Amino acid sequence: MADQPILAAGGIVVRGNTKPTVALVQLRKNGDWVLPKGKLDDGEDARSAAEREVNEETGQTVTVQEFVGTLAYEVNGRPKIVQFWRMHPNGGPARELMSDIKRVAWLSLERAIRKLARPHERAFLASVGPAAIKSHRQTTAIRAVPVAEPVRGPVAPATTPASTPTRRRNVIARAFNWLRRRRA
């Protein structure tokens, strides 16, 4: 049916926190740089398809985060609707790339927008990319907890307000030390 839309899904895959980068894939057939995405299999929901396609095209296992938007355009006279989620990779490459993908590039948002071959994908990434980067930074931020200094000299009674922040830091530091010992 020519009127039926092509349903697809993909990901805005972001890694790094201080200098976040976005994954693009290069198609083997024409060398175009595109966002990782692909068609839904029969009976597959869009979120699952997005995770599968990103895994196949980037070689990365990913954690799917929030939905970021829908891109609609025409392919050979048929409408194509692609739903995208923000994702982050779980470590390094976990598998070989699909045969139709030449390579993966991790680029800053600005460079990724410029490198995309298709104008509709450039406009889409320029629109949703800044919010995806911001959300990525917020969810992956590592918050440093100050380590308590060892107490020297006379100690104020625990009930005085001046000792409360130090006491809290000591409790937090002990908890983190306990966690580190359990992981080792």
Q: Which residues pair with 67 in a beta bridge?
A: 85
Residue 3: predicted pLDDT: 76
Q: What is the pLDDT of residues 8-24, one digit of tens each?
A: 999 999 999 889 999 99
Instruction: Tell me the C-alpha distance between 158 and 173, whole Å.
Output: 17
* Each residue's pLDDT tens digit, 110-156: 999 999 999 999 999 999 999 999 999 988 765 444 555 554 555 44
Q: How confident is the model at residue 183 (pLDDT cuts 50, 70, 90)?
A: low
Cβ-count burial 113-128 (b if 16+ within 10 Å, e if not): bebbeeeebbebbeeb
The whole-model pTM stands at: 0.74
Residue type (1 letter), 172 = I
Q: What is the pLDDT of residue 139?
A: 85
**Span of 62-66, 88-92, 117-121 with lowest mean pLDDT:** 88-92
What residue ranges define each of the domains in the chain, with the CATH number in brackets?
6-140 (3.90.79.10), 144-184 (no CATH)
